Structure 1
Amino acid sequence: MSLPAFAELLERLIFTPGRNAKLALLKRWFATQKDTDRGIGLAAIAGELSFTAAKPSIVRDLVRTRVDPELLAMSHDYVGDLAETVALIWPEPPNRPNRPPPDLSEVVETLELAPKDRIPGLLEDWLDTLDPGGRIALIKLVTGGLRVGVSGRLARQALADWSGQPVEELEEIWHGVPPPYLPMFAWLEGRGPRPDPRDAPVFRSPMLAQPLEASDIAALDHRDFRAEWKWDGIRVQASSGPGGRRLWSRTGEDISQSFPEILEAMEFHAVLDGELLVMRDGEVAPFAELQQRLNRKVVGPKMLRDYPTGLRVYDILFEQGEDLRPLPFDARRERLEAWFAATRPARMDLSPQIAFVSLEQLEALREGARAAGIEGLMLKRGDAPYVAGRPKGQWWKWKRAPLSVDAVLMYAQRGHGKRSSTYSDYTFGLWREDDQGGRELVPVGKAYSGYTDQELVWLDRWIRNHTTGRFGPVREVEKALVLEIVFDAAQLSGRHKSGVAMRFPRIARLRADKPAAEADRLETLMAMVENRAG
């Protein structure tokens, strides 16, 4: 596949909003491309490719040799996306090379072998042979900037739909076959056997819970369910055996490197499902402390000491290679407790089950969850097998009610992908007393979601018409628009100027009717903090 053909696929994915339409584009692409290129393209879209030497700074430095740096900076600020800016501003060479654009596989294979000092020359040569669409694809490919609204899960679903194989089957071999996935494509097309992950630490699709609504409660028979706390960490899967050890996020991202102490403790042959938490002496720390550890490729001794993590286990999927997922939850729990008693893995404990005799008793426990710094409750049917996806009525999550404040919009920044030209990321603040006895706005959080498409258009127009300052890609706006922000928790944080951090803030409502002077004060948010001393 030539890069222009890959660029056309990316453009269609970006500007195709519907999930089913994206699936159709991917299925058509799998059916029409040769093995190597479709495998490499699939890996790129799913975020499985990484070129450590090809940084965005290399691209910027290269473009500055052809374009005035001030013009590049102004153009980037206006367009909002580096790849799109470079693609449009890159000057046509006086003597355009008389050769076809590079294939996708050629670019990847060349970059994997090339020393760092050769990369600028390679990129320059390729950019000269490509049209603007091909240049966008090239830059996004090499810098890891592919954001086209396609997750790894959606890409695997497209493969399943195209091939007729269950997506769960694909999930289990996906991480056991490296790009360009030639044995996997051979199996999907009936040209070879199903790749066998054997004891490789591959990711298994997790079982997910449905949110418990008021209409669902009346139909529940509490005797069918088991209750556990819903811990405020991140869902992980710990897979360990003769083939290696991996720690996976619930979306199948390998996060082993960020939590080496957990990986070291996985001296067993099993696959566990649980919650990753910062824990000290068995006590769970607020989520804000776990955030210090997330997305870090290098974890030093101080980080390991200050934010020690542990795994609170609530299910076992495999034991010594035996697949336990078809067993009912009650049977798996018995196996888990017996396995844990025999193994006693370091840095791990069992999520306790909650005894109850009525839903009213559970509701009272849920209401008290916030005071205990817990997200809410999980209800799991005792006879439920472990089924990938979100089967109706098997697992329920009964979260505590969210908190809310009225905040003032302070700054805005463009988003990514199809939102790269729209101001969709918002920083908001609350009032507090300043040093002169007056009051000032202090930033307390950022929100990227919660609004409708119509509200996004309105917000983008409002921001452009009320800009008071520019700081690179960030616009400061007139302090006049109030947003109702809902969030799951508030926690003390030394990383923020306000001294407080919000858990999962999102926009509930635009309060254009409310004067900014009547927005909430910082003290209102501080009163909601869960981890205050004393």
Structure 2
Amino acid sequence: MQAFSDLLERLILTPSRNGKIDLLVNYFTSEVNPARGWALAVLTGELDIPGVKAGSIRRLAEARSDPELFRMSYDYVGDLAETVSLIWPGTRGANRVPPIEDIVETLLRATRAEGERLVAGWLDQLDPKGRWALIKMVTGGLRIGVSARLTKLALAQMGGVDAGEIEEIWHGLEPPYESLFDWLDGTAGKPAPDIKAPFRPVMLAHPLVTKDKRDDPDAVDPAMIDPEVFAAEWKYDGIRVQAVSERGTRRIYTRTGDDISHTFPDVLAGMDFDAAIDGELLIRAPNGEVAPFNDLQQRLNRKTVSKKQMETRPAFIRAYDILVDGGEDLRTLPFRDRRARLEDFVARAGSERIDLSPLVPVTTLDALEAARNAPPAPEIEGLMLKRWDSLYEAGRPTGPWYKWKRDPFLVDAVLLYAQRGHGRRSSFYSDFTFGVWRDGADGPELTPVGKAYFGFTDEELKQLDKFVRENTIDRFGPVRAVTATAEDGLVLEVAFEGLQRSPRHKSGLAMRFPRINRIRWDKPAGEADQLATLEKMLPPDPLAKS
């Protein structure tokens, strides 16, 4: 357990991606089975200990300390694991702390009552760093800047194999992954789990124009806009998925390999084919067009889906690419050939749950730029550019594919509330709620329209945190209300990808991917935007077209 807690601490304190990979490689190389396997399960989010949850940890902490002191401490620190690890009145004895494998395997067999008792005993024996690691291990939500993908890249580097090989067998493996580590150590052959309808690592695109060059009119070389070199298609605002139907098994995966098949039985029913396709999961509106992302969001992350939900929000896949057709792996073919195979496949499939992503004519740079900023539907985020000769390569190779998103919507809003973040941001106010002006019963008033917690630099975060602390006028639990008048308020230029009506929000609007684009220290709060300005940005009601 000590080695694992040391690893987590170092990962938090190491900002660089390559530095984190080096730490992971060193850990997996120096540790042995099954300890490193259980650590891998924690890092990739594959470990689930049903008997101990965050509520259990909170109950233990309140029983061991003054409840009001715990509440105030949790409010200040902002992270449950960090709060408990610091406030816990440990009574370390002579008993040794079990290794990570003993902790995990014991908890997996324990009842809820036994689990809480065991965790309390280990918290007594551990130091604050070890307590934090233990709590994170059993409750999840590490927030240490390490994704499952990054962990698999470290494994690939450790074993001298391609990360795609690990991705392709991952869903057939189970913690503590002893066969995987034996293969990476060179003491056994590559695991060959009998996976039906396996996930294939997806190919990703680079931004055609980076954020720092968004205002540069020469950011895109006109010479690369060549119809003989690149194809273009619309980038829809949905969920990137891989639909696989092989040997009688049908699955739908997210781009990270999570199996979401159970949430979309209507799409599974329409996958009467033997193939693996890459596409965008969308909801069809009553008028036959693509529905807003909010409709798709109503169906995501559900354990079960009702017949009514499937009828009112029917899902379908807009196919971008085909990876396997009738048992033939097509990933080594150029995109031009895969596109022809995809068109033939969609025509043969004849499924109302699968349609074809249309190509956009590639003529001039000006024409494409106009198309990506004024797409034919509000549910389109911009364009994808794909080289006709590109193979389907796992990861994000440089050169073959680019995404060229439309310019974001911008609005000037006033900061209303702030809350502390998590992980390394737990000491800063980093989650910001903002609003715009509207006419109220007693004159102009601010109404909340969104919340953002990224888009700013570390230095700007310090400035925002300072403003919140110096201008707090009220508190609601962990939330602070700040001065927000026409004369004294902080204006934030907020960027967002889309807007839709939402009865759940006081303003009646919901933003898609809001983030802070600039801090407008120069602008009076009274000159921030009006709610009417945002309402004019709303897309047309799809029902109005029918």
- Tell me which interval the TM-score lies in, with the shorter structure as reference length: over 0.9
Asked if 1:217 is matched to 2:221, the reply is yes
- SS for the counterpart of 1:498 is coil
Residue 91 (structure 1) aligned to one of 73, 89, 92: 89
Aligned structure 1 segments of 4 or more residues deviating by more than 6 angstroms: none
**C-alpha distance in 2, partners of 1:152/1:8?**
19
Task: Indicate the residue corresponding to 1:263 in structure 2.
Answer: 268
Describe the superposition over 1:115-173 as per-residue Cα deviations: whole angstroms up to 9, x where unpaired. 22322212112212222111111111111131111001111111112221111222212
**C-alpha distance in 2, partners of 1:473/1:298?**
33
Residue 389 (structure 2) aligned to one of 373, 383, 386: 383
198 and 469 in structure 1: CA distance in 2 versus 1, 3 angstrom threshold:
same
304 and 416 in structure 1: CA distance in 2 versus 1, 3 angstrom threshold:
farther
Q: 1:279 Cα shift?
A: 1.0
Q: Is the 8 Å Cα contact of residues 172 and 197 (structure 1) preserved in structure 2?
A: no
Q: Is the 8 Å Cα contact of residues 172 and 194 (structure 2) preserved in structure 1?
A: no
Q: Is the 8 Å Cα contact of residues 199 and 242 (structure 1) preserved in structure 2?
A: no
Residue 277 (structure 2) aligned to one of 272, 275, 279: 272
Task: Indicate the residue corresponding to 2:29 in structure 1.
Answer: 31
Could you tell me the percent identity over the aligned residues? 54
Task: Indicate the residue corresponding to 2:482 in structure 1.
Answer: 477
Q: 1:358 Cα shift?
A: 4.1
1:37-436 pair list within 5 angstroms: 37-93=35-91, 96-213=92-209, 214-220=218-224, 221-242=226-247, 244-280=249-285, 282-369=288-375, 372-436=378-442
TM-score normalised per structure 2 = 0.92
Q: 1:53 Cα shift?
A: 3.1
Describe the superposition over 1:12-47 as per-residue Cα deviations: whole angstroms up to 9, x where unpaired. 111211111111111110111012111111110111
Name the aligned partner's letter for residue 298 of structure 2. Answer: Q
Q: 1:243 Cα shift?
A: 7.5
Q: 1:186 Cα shift?
A: 1.0
Q: Is the 8 Å Cα contact of residues 293 and 379 (structure 2) preserved in structure 1?
A: no
Q: 1:444 Cα shift?
A: 0.7
254 and 412 in structure 1: CA distance in 2 versus 1, 3 angstrom threshold:
farther
Per mean C-alpha deviation after superposition, the further-off stretch among 479-488 and 345-354 is 345-354
**C-alpha distance in 2, partners of 1:243/1:87?**
49
356 and 510 in structure 1: CA distance in 2 versus 1, 3 angstrom threshold:
closer
Name the aligned partner's letter for residue 256 of structure 2. Answer: T
Name the aligned partner's letter for residue 389 of structure 2. Answer: D
Q: Is the 8 Å Cα contact of residues 209 and 396 (structure 1) preserved in structure 2?
A: yes
222 and 333 in structure 1: CA distance in 2 versus 1, 3 angstrom threshold:
closer
**C-alpha distance in 1, partners of 2:420/2:261?**
31
Q: 1:55 Cα shift?
A: 1.7
- SS for the counterpart of 1:74 is helix
**C-alpha distance in 2, partners of 1:439/1:297?**
44
Q: 1:278 Cα shift?
A: 1.1
Describe the superposition over 1:347-379 as per-residue Cα deviations: whole angstroms up to 9, x where unpaired. 221112234544444334334316554212222
Task: Indicate the residue corresponding to 2:501 in structure 1.
Answer: 492
- SS for the counterpart of 2:519 is strand
Name the aligned partner's letter for residue 145 of structure 1. Answer: G
**C-alpha distance in 1, partners of 2:140/2:121?**
20
Q: 1:247 Cα shift?
A: 2.0
Task: Indicate the residue corresponding to 2:524 in structure 1.
Answer: 515
- SS for the counterpart of 2:73 is helix
Q: 1:233 Cα shift?
A: 0.9
- SS for the counterpart of 1:284 is coil
Asked if 1:503 is matched to 2:523, the reply is no
- SS for the counterpart of 2:276 is strand
- SS for the counterpart of 2:256 is coil
Name the aligned partner's letter for residue 80 of structure 1. Answer: G
Describe the superposition over 1:367-396 as per-residue Cα deviations: whole angstroms up to 9, x where unpaired. 431655421222222221111222333222
- SS for the counterpart of 2:427 is coil
Per mean C-alpha deviation after superposition, the further-off stretch among 81-90 and 304-313 is 304-313
**C-alpha distance in 1, partners of 2:422/2:328?**
43
Q: Is the 8 Å Cα contact of residues 318 and 324 (structure 1) preserved in structure 2?
A: yes
Describe the superposition over 1:61-115 as per-residue Cα deviations: whole angstroms up to 9, x where unpaired. 122222111111111111111111111111133xx44221021111211222222
Per mean C-alpha deviation after superposition, the further-off stretch among 422-431 and 263-272 is 263-272
Q: Structure 1, unaligned stretches of length 5 or more?
A: none
**C-alpha distance in 2, partners of 1:240/1:162?**
33
**C-alpha distance in 2, partners of 1:157/1:175?**
16
Per mean C-alpha deviation after superposition, the further-off stretch among 248-257 and 18-27 is 248-257
Q: 1:482 Cα shift?
A: 0.6
- SS for the counterpart of 2:34 is helix
24 and 487 in structure 1: CA distance in 2 versus 1, 3 angstrom threshold:
same
Name the aligned partner's letter for residue 508 of structure 1. Answer: N
327 and 424 in structure 1: CA distance in 2 versus 1, 3 angstrom threshold:
same
**C-alpha distance in 2, partners of 1:471/1:304?**
39
Q: 1:199 Cα shift?
A: 4.5
**C-alpha distance in 2, partners of 1:531/1:15?**
47
Aligned residues: 529
**C-alpha distance in 2, partners of 1:478/1:209?**
42
**C-alpha distance in 2, partners of 1:252/1:417?**
25
Name the aligned partner's letter for residue 383 of structure 1. Answer: D
- SS for the counterpart of 2:446 is strand
Per mean C-alpha deviation after superposition, the further-off stretch among 142-151 and 96-105 is 96-105
Q: Is the 8 Å Cα contact of residues 25 and 158 (structure 2) preserved in structure 1?
A: yes
**C-alpha distance in 2, partners of 1:261/1:116?**
36
**C-alpha distance in 2, partners of 1:370/1:470?**
45
Name the aligned partner's letter for residue 224 of structure 1. Answer: V
Name the aligned partner's letter for residue 488 of structure 1. Answer: E
CA RMSD of aligned residues (A): 2.0
108 and 201 in structure 1: CA distance in 2 versus 1, 3 angstrom threshold:
farther
**C-alpha distance in 2, partners of 1:299/1:151?**
28
Asked if 1:8 is matched to 2:17, the reply is no
Q: Is the 8 Å Cα contact of residues 54 and 119 (structure 1) preserved in structure 2?
A: yes
Task: Indicate the residue corresponding to 2:212 in structure 1.
Answer: none
Q: Structure 2, unaligned stretches of length 5 or more?
A: 210-217
**C-alpha distance in 2, partners of 1:481/1:370?**
36
Per mean C-alpha deviation after superposition, the further-off stretch among 181-190 and 252-261 is 252-261
Q: Is the 8 Å Cα contact of residues 169 and 192 (structure 2) preserved in structure 1?
A: yes
Task: Indicate the residue corresponding to 1:460 in structure 2.
Answer: 465
- SS for the counterpart of 1:443 is strand
**C-alpha distance in 1, partners of 2:497/2:378?**
14
Name the aligned partner's letter for residue 102 of structure 1. Answer: P
**C-alpha distance in 2, partners of 1:412/1:52?**
33
- SS for the counterpart of 1:283 is coil
